[in-house]
Structure 1
Amino acid sequence: MQTTKKIALVTGGSRGLGRNSALALSEKGIDVILTYHTQKDEADSVVKAIESNGGIAHALQLDAGLVSSFDAFVSQISEVLMVKWDRNDFDFLVNNAGFGLHAPIASTNEEQFDSLMNVHFKGVFFLTQKLIPLLADGGAIVNVSTGLTRFSIEGFGAYAAMKGAVEILTKYMAKELGPRGIRVNTVAPGAIATDFGGGALKHNQGMKDYISSLTVLGRAGEPDDIGGIVASLCLSEMGWINGQRIEASGGMLL
């Protein structure tokens, strides 16, 4: 018998904001498929945490920057949906997978630029494209961006530019998927103390103090500040929010 529970797909769900988003979705009664790039053990631990709370979860490997792998990945998703949920679609897509790069424009090389583009923009564009047929009417997409598209901090030009492209793409996704009742929004976190970018903020008290001095609420962000926002944008209570960029930075650089 077909399940009535909602299902979310979270890319990059093994660590950081993706992990927190997956757990927050589960806490709201939404089952989760999460992807990981290389950290299978961490992904499996997220699955176990969700299952221990009565949810259903599954982890799949995905290189979010390798477009040629997406057809096989979509086939895997279809199989998992049928086997574990007796469904041929899912409800929510969270495009979270990514990595950080801190390099001035003057020293950013083409390989770094292309890697950022492949994961943060090209990958988001084409993975979403491939998954649109599996996304249920009335569902939602949440694209994860960054506060660095509003304020600028030296060394993040290439990274922020890719996220800026995703923010524009979000509006067009909302426009084109609106007739199916699918909402599309962007969450733009400020500086968050995770392992992202090598964990520079998480492990550097001086940097934490600096970010705290720039933030109205007086501290750097934590993953728990973001996951609930991502999950909430999938709920019917947020059903009239569409095509929006929602910054979650505690008021950085206001």
Structure 2
Amino acid sequence: MTATRPRLALVTGASRGLGRSTALALARDGMDLIVTYRTGEAEAQAVVREIQALGRQALALPLDVADSSGFDAFAARVQAALRTTWQRDRFDALVNNAGAGLHASFAETTEAQFDEQMNIHLKGTFFLTQKLLPLIEDGGRIVNTSSGLTRFSFPGSAAYAVMKGGVEVLTRYLAKELGPRGIAVNTVAPGAIETDFRGGAVRDDPKLNAQIAGLTALGRVGLPDDVGGAVAALLSDGNRWVTGQRIEVSGGMLL
């Protein structure tokens, strides 16, 4: 009897925060992982060891999602890793998670800040997915990361939310255009989560944390594992008929 080949996912920005939680949730569900990092190599290697401790194979690769000029070289490294580590040519799921926050009012947002947000969240997601598309299995999955801030508005988030709104539109187009290959594409939109995002404000400011909990139907602020678990569920076999959707993971914030 031939053993079933494990499914393999690539998660960007997985050295910490939501990416780390997503990678570990997928490993617990039996998937192997390629995780990426920009500067946190030690943290990414620690995630690799945690995944291996769960009995899965994993590899960490450097990637700056804000620099599209490096995407061809990154795709080549992924292709080489697939062949040498997994003896295969394609992987099963791409999770576009890497990101960076910005808190600046509309009036004070600079063009440089706007361009940085665009390069990281919108241009990066668009062209990285394009470069990796030949390496994604037919019948595979793509999950893009958006934000609850595309539905509700908080001052200081205009540039960030605009880019995430673009990601949601891109998701629908990808779902339509990649449908003939059987590739399902969805968006996960986290609400306020206790991470180091934006300096850890939601996690470390008790007043802000309590304020957000009071605006949330389930009565608390989200945790990284809430999002990681949701992504893992979306990539499970039971969700093979879900595509082109925005799934908010916010505990019912501002309903």
Relative to the length of structure 1, the TM-score reads 0.98
Counterpart mapping for 1:11-90 below 5 A = 11-90=12-91
1:55/1:195 Cα in 2 relative to 1: closer, same or farther (>3 Å)?
same
Distance in 1 (alpha carbons) for counterparts of 2:88 and 2:127: 23
- Does structure 2 conserve the Cα–Cα contact (< 8 Å) formed by 1:37 and 1:62? yes
Match of 1:9 in 2: 10
Residues 1:136 and 2:124 aligned together: no
- Does structure 2 conserve the Cα–Cα contact (< 8 Å) formed by 1:192 and 1:221? yes
Q: Which runs of 5+ in 2 are unaligned?
A: none
Match of 2:148 in 1: 147
Which string of whole-angstrom CA distances, capped at 9 and with x for unpartnered residues, describes residues 144-188 of structure 1?
100000000111010000000000000000000000100000000
RMSD: 1.1
Counterpart mapping for 1:95-134 below 5 A = 95-134=96-135
Match of 1:227 in 2: 228
Distance in 2 (alpha carbons) for counterparts of 1:90 and 1:164: 27
- Does structure 2 conserve the Cα–Cα contact (< 8 Å) formed by 1:188 and 1:245? yes
Distance in 2 (alpha carbons) for counterparts of 1:190 and 1:18: 15
- Does structure 2 conserve the Cα–Cα contact (< 8 Å) formed by 1:3 and 1:86? no
Deviation at 1:3, TM superposition (A): 7.0
Counterpart mapping for 1:100-249 below 5 A = 100-249=101-250
- Classify the secondary structure of the residue corresponding to 2:78: helix
Deviation at 1:36, TM superposition (A): 0.3
Which string of whole-angstrom CA distances, capped at 9 and with x for unpartnered residues, describes residues 53-94 of structure 1?
110000000000100000000000001111110011100000
- Does structure 2 conserve the Cα–Cα contact (< 8 Å) formed by 1:139 and 1:234? no
Which string of whole-angstrom CA distances, capped at 9 and with x for unpartnered residues, describes residues 180-235 of structure 1?
10000000000001011111111111110111111111111000111011111111
Which string of whole-angstrom CA distances, capped at 9 and with x for unpartnered residues, describes residues 5-58 of structure 1?
110000000010000000000000000000001001110010000001110000
Relative to the length of structure 2, the TM-score reads 0.98
Distance in 2 (alpha carbons) for counterparts of 1:228 and 1:52: 18
Which string of whole-angstrom CA distances, capped at 9 and with x for unpartnered residues, describes residues 91-149 of structure 1?
00000000100110000001110000001000000000000000000100000100000
Distance in 2 (alpha carbons) for counterparts of 1:224 and 1:2: 30
Distance in 2 (alpha carbons) for counterparts of 1:210 and 1:246: 23
Distance in 1 (alpha carbons) for counterparts of 2:3 and 2:115: 42
Amino acid at match of 1:79: A
Identity among equivalent positions (%) equals 59
- Classify the secondary structure of the residue corresponding to 1:35: strand
- Does structure 2 conserve the Cα–Cα contact (< 8 Å) formed by 1:2 and 1:85? no
- Does structure 2 conserve the Cα–Cα contact (< 8 Å) formed by 1:2 and 1:86? no
- Classify the secondary structure of the residue corresponding to 1:12: coil
| Matched residues, number | 254
Amino acid at match of 2:97: N
Q: Which runs of 5+ in 1 are unaligned?
A: none
Runs of 4+ in 1 over 2 A off after TM superposition: none
Amino acid at match of 1:50: I
